[in-house]
């Protein structure tokens, strides 16, 4: 079979990323332009600013991706873009750009679900990895367990019923006066704190479910901080971060363990922005002794074009191209 070069565009939030990947596994380039410094002063991503910045830089990022891959546009076989979920304005920038390239170059186009991109990030890092396996998706917008039965064949086992774990990390960090993004700052302070200093509750559902809920622990941490402030009690930020981080990740471990008990399997891929957390990685590795655990590299944990290219490759082989009528979907389900 002829090698397939996929050029992919990811603009679902505040990273402008374009990558070139061969056969869904080999990264030829993966350029990522982050907007963290721009949104930091606002304490989070401002959708309109994110969209405008994507428009400003997307041509430059494309040129850099092609240059690093040492190819020309005519060498590309398939053009892909994220079409959801994400910020609708940001998604439209990458999606319409990809459609335009596809039409102008007479190349096939395919839209990719952002979550499927995260799952596929492990294919880039671990060339030996093949389905079936369990996947835990943990990011600013998602907390989800999926049974990956084959390439492009998924069974959703659990998801959050309210806040995503990464979203709660950011909100707790903001309450503590830490800069955006909050996750890395909470991890940094947690290393200096006592994870058993404060007992934050784990949410539990009465029904037989593996779904997550992070609104409860978010409220508990925010209430703890508010009560300390109102009573003039000193807040040890390191202890708050360590205790919150431990409880949040213990909730993940508990439900993943139940998922393996119910569905079986011996492989787990942990993906998404929160999967770059070293405490999470070490906790899972030490707890699941009989499970093979895979993580992408930290660059591939964040939103990036390479993961979209990998997902696009396997989706195209299974389902073929997308229609140009495909539209951005900010709340796209999985």
Same-domain check for residues 73 and 162: no
The tokens of 57 are what? 């830089």
Q: Which of 2, 64, 75 is nearest to 33 (CA)?
A: 64
Residue 326 placed within a domain: no
Residue 44 placed within a domain: yes
Distance of alpha carbon 322 from alpha carbon 112, whole angstroms: 9
Distance of alpha carbon 30 from alpha carbon 172, whole angstroms: 31
pLDDT digits (tens, 9 = 90+) for 227-280: 999 999 999 999 999 999 999 999 999 999 999 999 999 999 999 999 999 999
Residue 65 placed within a domain: yes
Q: Is 50 helix (H, G, I), strand (E, B) or coil?
A: helix
Same-domain check for residues 253 and 136: yes
Residue 201 placed within a domain: yes
- Domain of residue 186, CATH code: 3.30.420.40
Distance of alpha carbon 121 from alpha carbon 46, whole angstroms: 26
Cβ 124 vs Cβ 307: under 8 Å: yes
Report, in this order, helix, strand and coil percent for the chain, each rounded to 5. 45, 20, 35
Exposed/middle/buried for residue 223 (C-beta within 10 Å: 0-12, 13-18, 19+):
exposed
Same-domain check for residues 110 and 21: yes
Same-domain check for residues 159 and 218: yes
Same-domain check for residues 166 and 219: yes
Its sign, for the CA torsion 220, 224, 227, 229, is negative
- Cis peptide bond upstream of 132, omega within 30: yes
Which pLDDT value is given to residue 171? Answer: 95
Domain of residue 82, residue span: 5-122+301-319
Residues in the chain: 334
* Beta strand 133-138 pairing with 292-294: unpaired
Distance of alpha carbon 325 from alpha carbon 322, whole angstroms: 8
Exposed/middle/buried for residue 37 (C-beta within 10 Å: 0-12, 13-18, 19+):
exposed
Which pLDDT value is given to residue 2? Answer: 86
Strands in 204-300 per DSSP E = 267-271, 292-294
Q: On the CB side of 199, how many CA atoms lie within 13 Å of its CA?
A: 0
Residue 327 placed within a domain: no
Distance of alpha carbon 332 from alpha carbon 334, whole angstroms: 7
pLDDT tens series, the chain, 334 aa: 789 999 999 999 999 999 999 999 999 999 999 888 888 778 788 888 999 999 999 999 999 999 999 999 999 999 999 999 999 999 999 999 999 999 999 999 999 999 999 999 999 999 999 999 999 999 999 999 999 999 999 999 999 999 999 999 999 999 999 988 899 999 999 999 999 999 999 987 877 799 999 999 999 999 999 999 999 999 999 999 999 999 999 999 999 999 999 999 999 999 999 999 999 999 999 999 999 999 999 999 999 999 999 999 999 999 999 999 999 999 998 8
Same-domain check for residues 165 and 266: yes
201 to 141, 143, 283, 315: CA distances (angstroms): 22, 18, 19, 40
Which pLDDT value is given to residue 158? Answer: 96
Which pLDDT value is given to residue 249? Answer: 97
Which pLDDT value is given to residue 181? Answer: 87
Cβ 267 vs Cβ 294: under 8 Å: yes
Residue 197 placed within a domain: yes
Which pLDDT value is given to residue 100? Answer: 97
107 to 78, 99, 226: CA distances (angstroms): 6, 9, 56
Same-domain check for residues 305 and 288: no
Which pLDDT value is given to residue 147? Answer: 97
Distance of alpha carbon 281 from alpha carbon 136, whole angstroms: 12
Same-domain check for residues 114 and 184: no
Same-domain check for residues 291 and 250: yes
Residue 271 placed within a domain: yes
Same-domain check for residues 135 and 282: yes
pLDDT digits (tens, 9 = 90+) for 4-49: 999 999 999 999 999 999 999 999 999 999 888 888 778 788 888 9
Which pLDDT value is given to residue 245? Answer: 98
218 to 162, 170, 225, 272, 331: CA distances (angstroms): 11, 10, 11, 20, 23
Q: On the CB side of 214, how many CA atoms lie within 13 Å of its CA?
A: 28
Q: CB neighbours (10 Å) of residue 203?
A: 19
Same-domain check for residues 135 and 181: yes
When divided into structural domains, the chain yields a total of: 2
Same-domain check for residues 114 and 150: no
Tell me how far apart the 2 most distant CA atoms of the chain are, in Å: 69
Q: What are phi and psi of 292, to 5 degrees?
A: -75, 120
Residue 332 placed within a domain: no
The tokens of 250 are what? 């213990």
């Amino acid at each position: 079979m002829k090698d397939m070069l996929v050029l992919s565009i990811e603009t679902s939030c505040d990273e402008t990323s374009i990558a070139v990947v061969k056969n869904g596994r080999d990264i030829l380039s993966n350029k990522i332009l982050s907007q963290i410094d721009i949104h930091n002063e606002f304490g989070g991503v401002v959708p309109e600013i994110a969209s405008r910045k994507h428009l400003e830089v997307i041509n430059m990022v494309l040129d850099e991706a092609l240059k690093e891959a040492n190819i020309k546009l005519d060498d590309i076989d398939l053009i892909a873009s994220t079409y959801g979920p994400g910020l609708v304005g940001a998604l439209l920038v990458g999606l319409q750009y990809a459609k335009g390239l596809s039409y102008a170059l007479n190349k096939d186009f395919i839209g990719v679900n952002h979550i499927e991109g995260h799952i596929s990030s492990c294919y880039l890092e671990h060339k030996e990895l093949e389905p079936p396996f369990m996947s835990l998706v943990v990011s600013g917008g998602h907390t989800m367990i999926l049974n990956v039965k084959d390439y492009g064949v998924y069974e959703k086992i659990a998801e959050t019923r309210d806040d995503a774990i990464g979203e709660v990390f950011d909100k707790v960090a903001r309450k503590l006066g830490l800069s955006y993004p909050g996750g890395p700052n909470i991890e940094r302070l947690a290393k200096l704190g006592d994870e058993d200093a404060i007992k934050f509750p784990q949410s539990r559902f009465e029904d037989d479910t593996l779904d997550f809920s992070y609104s409860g622990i978010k409220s508990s941490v925010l209430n703890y901080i508010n009560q300390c402030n109102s009573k003039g009690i000193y807040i040890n930020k390191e202890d708050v971060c360590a205790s919150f981080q431990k409880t949040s990740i213990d909730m993940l471990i508990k439900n993943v363990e139940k998922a393996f008990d119910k569905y079986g399997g011996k492989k787990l891929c942990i993906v998404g922005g929160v999967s770059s957390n070293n405490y999470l990685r070490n906790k899972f590795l030490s707890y699941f002794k009989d499970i093979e655990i895979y993580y992408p590299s930290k660059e591939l944990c964040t939103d990036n074009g390479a993961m979209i290219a990998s997902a696009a490759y396997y989706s195209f082989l299974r389902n073929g191209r997308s229609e140009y009528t495909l539209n951005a979907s900010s709340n796209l389900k999985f």
